[in-house]
Amino acid sequence: MKIVVIGGDGQLGSDLVSAFTANGDAVRALTHSHIEIANPASVSCLLEEIQPDVIINTAAMHHVENCEREPEKAFAVNGLGPKNLAVVAQSLNAVLMHVSTDYVFDGSKGSPYTEADNPHPLNTYGITKLAGEHFVRSNSERHFVVRTSGLYGRNPCRAKNGLNFVELMLKLGKERPEVRVVDSEVVSPTSTVELARQLVQLSRSDSYGIYHATAEGSCSWYEFAQEIFALTDAPVRLKAAESGEFPTKVPRPKYSVLENQALKARGLNICKHWRDGLRSYLEGRTHVRIGSDKYLTAPTTPNRT
């Protein structure tokens, strides 16, 4: 199939390009220099030229604080951008796979969210991402809306200053004798490599609709950091941060665990446990100790444009 990955140089996008290429698909990676999803003319002109079978959208304005400061821009990118893609996808009879977020929920449920649960976002980012979901569902018959959570991958993430949570912990572990991490927020940390493989699997289905796709299991950020340091034998003291120690400017869900119910119901779920995803990620880094004295060499990672 002919695949277009929008945001193909990003943290998730780069692994999607690799996964679909490895699957034998013809893949075109589009970056912000190629396409502006908030501009209908930019979207229609380029995609009508390419004539893709599947359009995968990973592009978003996902810096939560910036979304609060610039809600109009956030809505243009996160809401109207997916609408523009959906309209063109429908006209081309192409499948649209749109990546969304756990932030469409408020985190008050206390048990894993399924696709049947009603969204209730707490902030502008979540509201605009939910708007994007609605636009996709309303304008494209052949669509997959895929919500995920706690992403980390080899390629830098601009919204996180180039460091995902794993890299940040490893960096702080080298610089400080003690690291403090919040224990009050629960997620399902998900490797972008594993998510990309899941999206390849899903793309072969015609069971369109909303899907949750995250690693199995859940943990707090403190427990995730604990596993990172344990697997790498890092000589650092890890402590749970006290309540209010790291105040946030924007409300966020405290419980962001998603259940891959729709994937499992259709026999499509291939997501591993988050511990397995973390181990695979660490084994792909250069000179990181996993368990005993085993050192591994990482493959070459793609450069950002």
Q: Report the CATH superfamily, name and number, of domain 2-155+189-216+257-271.
A: NAD(P)-binding Rossmann-like Domain (3.40.50.720)
The pLDDT of residue 35 is 93
Evaluate whether 277 touches 219 at the Cβ level (below 8 Å): no
For the chain, the structural domain boundaries read 2-155+189-216+257-271
Q: Residue 176 carries which DSSP code? A: -
Given the residues 113, 125, 211, 281, select the one marked as catalytic.
Answer: 125
Q: What is the pLDDT of residues 132-168, one digit of tens each?
A: 999 999 999 999 999 999 999 988 766 656 678 999 9
* d(C-alpha 156, C-alpha 174), whole Å: 19
* d(C-alpha 221, C-alpha 219), whole Å: 7
Residue with tokens 């995803």: 277
Report the predicted TM-score, pTM, of the whole model to 2 decimal places: 0.89
The verdict on whether 113 is a catalytic residue reads no
Please list the residues that pair with 4 across neighbouring strands.
28, 55
CA 230 to chain centre: 25
The pLDDT of residue 296 is 27
The pLDDT of residue 245 is 65
- Alpha helical stretches, state H, 176-273: 192-203, 221-231, 261-265
Residue 304: exposure state from Cβ atoms within 10 A (0-12, 13-18, ≥19)? middle
- List the chain residues with pLDDT less than 70: 157-162, 243-247, 286-305
SS3 186: strand
The pLDDT of residue 219 is 95
Name residue 254's amino acid: K
Q: Which of 169, 162, 142, 158 is nearest to 58 (CA)?
A: 158
The structure tokens listed for 283 are: 């084994």
